[in-house]
Amino acid sequence: MSDKKVLLEIPNLDEKVELSIHSGTLGQEVVDIAPLAKKGLFTFDPGFVATASCESKITFIDGENGILLYRGYPIEQLAEKSDYLEVCYLLMNGELPSPEQKQKFTRQILNHTMVHEQIHKFFTGFRRDAHPMSVMVGTVGALSSFYHDALDITQPEHREIAALRLIAKMPTLAAMCYKYYIGQPFTYPQNDLSYSENFLYMMFSVPSEKWQPNPVLAKAMDRIFILHADHEQNASTSTVRLAGSSGANPFACIASGIAALWGPAHGGANEAVLDMLMEIGDVKNIPKYIEKARDRNDPFRLMGFGHRVYKNYDPRAKVMRETCHEVLKEVGKTNDPLLEIALELERYALEDEYFIEKKLYPNVDFYSGITLNAIGIPVNMFTVIFALARAVGWVTHWNEMVSTPGFRIGRPRQLYTGHDQRDYIDENNR
Ligand code: SDX
């Protein structure tokens, strides 16, 4: 931490407070505001636009230049050269695995791909037409009622087995959500398949037919998992950290992250993008929707555009667009009308002065929906896929926090603008 200081003059205290400035490896410096509390002052930053909630070594985003690093490695290189389980190892352990470490880690994951048979009973309580994200929140949260052999989060081994179980079981639970929704029998994992092949197998195979993995679609799925694996202190990761700061069960904390991710401003945007493209319906309608997006009085937003941190092209969106073209070619939908609208919408938006002024670029969700749709995944499963992939990020941030000596419960303060103290009024005097 650097020894730079900033001097804050506090008018009604008639004194100056010295605050330390800390520098990280990359990115913005931070002002340590802890001394302000002793002066009876809070900072005020709704939405945490300018607030660093923690110190972390996992992921770094340079929003101005559209850079995303997982443990220092650029997302473009990982998407091209790595695979999702290797990225999980990297995020969790901080280094790329040796061949032996990768083999051991893969075996550990495969040993946990099945869920307890009792979990099947949790599904039957849901309506068949329940949104799959509601089922994911419920069933991942239900994992907190199992595994009492490893509930002491102060034990590194207990934290590690919780992480391995989570990463291994998310595809199984996600596929079960889909099977339950469409009324088909659950499919058990096949551990001779790769992680992504196994997921597609559990999603699309049926007992009455032989199923063969499509290597192009499996590779695309794996790349989508890599792109969504982690993203610093986004809303859902911050939710997991805050829940975890009380010492809560790790699976319950992950369920809180799934709940936060569901919103259309966050992970629910991939589903909202496809709904938006279908609503636009034809490229000739694009100008009308761009106008709606520019109108501050119109709540319509161009879903899949804009980002709290990226004020340049989201590097994940570029990789996703390439993946989208590969998948559409593989499934013979190169003239997909939704892609045509998306490409034209992107061209319009990138040339429009409103979007240029607001620095609104496509984000990871803009092309993921079209890609997932072409793979055959229904729209209401898009955010479930996002949750599946992000589970490793959530659990890695949770572990980074709970393994930090002396970590404290998160407890933000507020600016109170409600009533001053007043006395109770009896009912007959109101
Ligand atoms: C994800 O945080 C993460 O890292 C998230 C994520 C991850 O990997 O975890 O990257 C995943 O959530 C990606 C974002 C997916 N969401 C969407 O695509 C929904 C559409 N985008 C917007 O809702 C919005 O851009 C957000 C929520 C993504 C960002 O919101 P901010 O940072 O609070 O930005 P803002 O709402 O303050 O917007 C700044 C200005 C506003 O105009 P003014 O009030 O200044 O006049 O830009 C406008 C907004 O109205 N604006 C948009 C817009 N996004 C922002 N106008 C039209 N269409 C949009 N999409």
**DSSP letters spanning 32-73:** --HHHHHTT-----GGGTT------SSEEEETTTTEEEETTE
The closest alpha carbon to 232, from 65, 390, 418, 361, belongs to 390
C-alpha of residue 306 to centroid of ligand 1, in Å = 4
Beta-carbon-side half-sphere exposure of residue 108 (alpha carbons within 13 Å): 18
Atom 32 of ligand 1, residue of closest alpha carbon: 308
* Single-letter residue type at 43: T
C-alpha of residue 382 to centroid of ligand 1, in Å = 19
Rounded mean pLDDT of 402-426?
96
Residue 46 to residue 49: CA distance in whole angstroms: 7
What is the rounded average pLDDT for all residues in the chain? 95
C-alpha of residue 71 to centroid of ligand 1, in Å = 26
Rounded mean pLDDT of 331-346?
91
What is the pTM (predicted TM-score) of this model?
Answer: 0.95
- What is residue 14's predicted lDDT score, i.e. its pLDDT? 78
Pocket of ligand 1 (CB under 6 A): 231, 234, 265-267, 269, 293, 296, 301-309, 358, 360, 363-365
C-alpha of residue 92 to centroid of ligand 1, in Å = 29
What sections of 250-381 are H helices per DSSP? 250-261, 269-280, 286-294, 315-330, 337-351, 353-357, 364-375
The closest alpha carbon to 193, from 115, 113, 119, belongs to 113
Rounded mean pLDDT of 164-193?
97
Which residue out of 70, 358, 386 has the highest number of ligand 1 atoms within 8 Å of its CB and is therefore the one to mutate?
358
Task: Convert the pLDDT of each residue in 257-291 to its tens digit.
Answer: 999 999 999 999 999 999 999 999 999 999 999 99
Measured in degrees and rounded to the nearest 5, phi and psi for residue 24 equal: -100, -165
Rounded mean pLDDT of 387-394?
98
Percent of the chain surpassing pLDDT 90:
92
- What is residue 335's predicted lDDT score, i.e. its pLDDT? 86
Catalytic residues: 266, 307, 365
Residue 266 to residue 274: CA distance in whole angstroms: 14
Angle in degrees, CA 18, 20, 26, rounded to 5: 155
Nearest-atom index, ligand 1, CA of 305: 60
Atom 46 of ligand 1, residue of closest alpha carbon: 296
Residue 367 to residue 385: CA distance in whole angstroms: 14
Q: What 8-state DSSP symbol labels residue 233?
A: S
Residue 70 to residue 85: CA distance in whole angstroms: 13
Residue 271 to residue 265: CA distance in whole angstroms: 11
Residue 186 to residue 179: CA distance in whole angstroms: 6
The closest alpha carbon to 388, from 172, 96, 163, belongs to 172
Q: Which residues contact 1 (CB under 8 A, 6 or more apart)?
A: 20, 22, 23
pLDDT bucket at 3, cuts 50 / 70 / 90: confident
> Could you give the dihedral angle defined by the CA atoms of residues 291, 293, 295 and 296, in that order, rounded to the nearest 10 degrees?
-170
- What is residue 2's predicted lDDT score, i.e. its pLDDT? 61
Task: Convert the pLDDT of each residue in 54-109 to its tens digit.
Answer: 999 999 999 999 999 999 999 999 999 999 999 999 999 999 999 999 999 999 99
Q: Is the dihedral of CA 335, 336, 341, 342 positive or negative?
A: negative
